[in-house]
Amino acid sequence: MALPRASGPKTSLAEIYSHLTGVVSGINHTVIRDNVPFKSGLTPIYANPYAGFDELVEEEVLQQYQRDRFHTFTTEELEALESLAFQRPVEQPENLDGLPIHDIFRRENWAHPRPLNQGSWPIGLGTDESDGFWDVNNNDVWNILQPCLKLATVILTNHNTSPWWDAFLMGARRKVDQADVTAGKPGQDYYRFFRRTPADANSDDGIRDIQERLFRMGSSIEFDIVCGCSEWSTGLPTTSMFHGITVPKNWWHATKCCLDLYDIQPLLNKNMHPAERLLSQFSLASTILHELAHALHAEMTSIDFKIPEPYFEDECLAELGFSMENALCGGMADKINDHTNAGGLPYAGFVLADWNTLHNEYRCEGNPTIAAKPSGWLYERISPVPVEYFQYFHDTGFWNYHVRGNGPTATHMGPLPASSVYIFGQGQQEDFDEIPTPGIDPVMDDSMTVAQKTAVLVETRRNATTRRIQSAMQRTAAQRTYRTARLNAARASGTQSYSRPNAAPYLEPIFTPLCPRFDLIVQFLFSRRQELALDTLHFTIAEHQLYWYIVREGFISPTPREWRGFLQRCTKENVLFRWKEYLFPPTPTQGTVVRVANGWPIVPPPIKMCPPSSGDSPAAVRFRTMLKPFKGCMTALGTGNVYEPGQYDADKRVLLIALRKIMKLNGWTSSSITDDEFDDFIRYYEFHGRKWGFGPAGIIRKTEFGW
Do both 568 and 626 map to the same domain?
no
How many angstroms separate the CA atoms of 389 and 403, rounded?
A: 13
Question: pTM here?
Answer: 0.91
Residue 144 host element (H or E): helix 139-157
Confidence class for position 150, pLDDT limits 50, 70, 90: very high
Do both 579 and 643 map to the same domain?
no
Per-residue pLDDT at 241: 87
Per-residue pLDDT at 277: 92
- 1-14 mean pLDDT: 65
Per-residue pLDDT at 641: 57
- 558-564 mean pLDDT: 92
> Looking at 329, 362, 382, which one is the last position of a domain?
329
- 672-695 mean pLDDT: 89
Encode pLDDT of 411-420 as tens digits.
Answer: 999 899 999 9
Does 687 reside within a domain? yes
Does 541 reside within a domain? yes
Encode pLDDT of 110-135 as tens digits.
Answer: 999 999 999 999 998 776 567 789 99
Do both 623 and 555 map to the same domain?
no
Contact 157, 285 (CB under 8 A): no
Per-residue pLDDT at 640: 59
Do both 139 and 183 map to the same domain?
yes
Per-residue pLDDT at 500: 66
Per-residue pLDDT at 97: 77
Encode pLDDT of 600-638 as tens digits.
Answer: 999 877 777 777 666 778 888 888 888 888 888 888 777
Per the model's pLDDT, the better-predicted residue between 105 and 433 turns out to be 105
Cβ count within 10 A of residue 55: 13
At 47, the amino acid letter reads A
Does 647 reside within a domain? yes
Do both 189 and 259 map to the same domain?
yes
How many angstroms separate the CA atoms of 153 and 136, rounded?
A: 18
Do both 154 and 199 map to the same domain?
yes
**Of the ranges 163-172, 615-624, 685-694, which is most confident?**
163-172
Does 235 reside within a domain? yes
> Looking at 314, 329, 344, which one is the last position of a domain?
329
> Looking at 286, 312, 329, which one is the last position of a domain?
329
Do both 155 and 256 map to the same domain?
yes
Does 354 reside within a domain? no
Do both 163 and 106 map to the same domain?
yes
Per-residue pLDDT at 3: 40
pLDDT greater than 90 at residue 534: yes
Confidence class for position 502, pLDDT limits 50, 70, 90: low
Does 34 reside within a domain? no
Per-residue pLDDT at 5: 43
Range of 172's domain?
95-329
- 567-587 mean pLDDT: 95
Encode pLDDT of 9-62 as tens digits.
Answer: 888 899 889 888 888 888 888 888 877 888 899 999 887 777 778 788 888 888
**Domain count for the chain:** 3
Per-residue pLDDT at 705: 81
Do both 659 and 591 map to the same domain?
no
Do both 562 and 626 map to the same domain?
no
Do both 302 and 222 map to the same domain?
yes
Confidence class for position 321, pLDDT limits 50, 70, 90: very high
Does 443 reside within a domain? no
How many angstroms separate the CA atoms of 578 and 588, rounded?
A: 19
Per-residue pLDDT at 184: 73
Which residues touch 264 (CB under 8 Å, ≥6 apart)? 134, 141, 144, 145, 225, 284
Sign of CA pseudo-dihedral 587, 124, 140, 148: positive
Contact 69, 336 (CB under 8 A): no
At 636, the amino acid letter reads A
Does 678 reside within a domain? yes
> Which region among 2-11, 242-251, 347-356, 406-415 has the lowest average model confidence (pLDDT)?
2-11
Task: Quote the mean pLDDT of the chain.
Answer: 87
Do both 627 and 573 map to the same domain?
no
